[in-house]
Structure 1
Amino acid sequence: MSNKALRILIADEQHFQRMRIERLFNQLDYYRVVPVHNLAELLTLVDYGGVPFDLVVINASMAEGELNLYDFFLDHPQVHHVLIYDADVARLPAVSADGQQRIQVIQASVPELPFIERSMAIIESRQPFVGTVISVS
């Protein structure tokens, strides 16, 4: 049975991209979605929010030069899973996952509906992502 009460945070500087991704989640009946447009808002909600986010979806270029996304989210207690997209534009190197990762990185400029469906199935089953993760030097 699907858990449609999962908390999702979408972070992208472009309003159109945030809305597009939010609509994809809405199509799957996920409505507890919080869109933010800058890194400061994301950090405030993640660091000082009382309830953890089940998923953070973030454009890799938002943190470029300001924050190491992998290190920040790796063991953050307020974030259960992270999906980083547009990694190619931000020139994030990828390495194979070991099956224990909570972080998934895709090269696509925006996640598409089939990918989000698969990711949510993994999250709802409380399993780690299997795929690529970032390794930032």
Structure 2
Amino acid sequence: MATPYLRILIVDDQLLQSVYIEKLFNSNGYYRVAPVASFNEFLLLASQAIDKFDLVVLNGAIKGCTPARLEEVQQNCSSIGYILIYGARIAGTANSGTVGERQAVIELSGVPGIESIKTVMQSVDPRKN
């Protein structure tokens, strides 16, 4: 059973792709899903967040997403639990697992599908463990 209150943020400038990913989460019982269309919007939300985002689903090919900026987010933003990066390999990012208070970073080579969402949520959702 899914934990319905988990907060998920989708960062993708391609609207149809973002909607597709949101629907995948919805079909698995996750409804607190918010899309943003730019990396700068993501940075603003992450830096201003009062409540933690349990998962950020990030299109690694989005404009403004560089290894240095992502590393900065990992080091300075405690409002993010896990980061799922897809669509582009971001050199210099950590592999799965947390290091201290840092986020776990999971990379996919392509757009997430239903099976990859289920697999990722095994780590993110405490009820799935």
TM-score range, shorter chain: 0.7 to 0.9
Equivalence map 1:1-137=2 (5 Å): 1-62=1-62, 63-65=64-66, 68-74=69-75, 76-88=77-89, 92-93=90-91, 97=95, 99-100=97-98, 102-108=104-110, 110-125=111-126
Matched positions, count = 122
The DSSP-based 3-state class of the residue aligned with 2:41 is helix
**Partner deviation per Cα, 1:23-78 (whole Å, 9 max, x = no partner):** 00010011100100012211111110211100000100123459531342255210
Between the aligned partners of 1:100 and 1:39, the Cα distance in structure 2 is 22
Query: How far apart are residue 99 of structure 1 and its match?
Result: 4.3
Q: Which runs of 4+ in 1 moved over 4 A?
A: none
- Greater shift, 111-120 or 65-74, is seen at 65-74
For the aligned residues, what is the CA RMSD? 2.4
Structure 1 residue runs without a partner (length 5+): 127-137
- How does the TM-score come out when normalised to structure 1? 0.77
One-letter code of the match for 1:104?
Answer: I
Between the aligned partners of 2:71 and 2:108, the Cα distance in structure 1 is 13
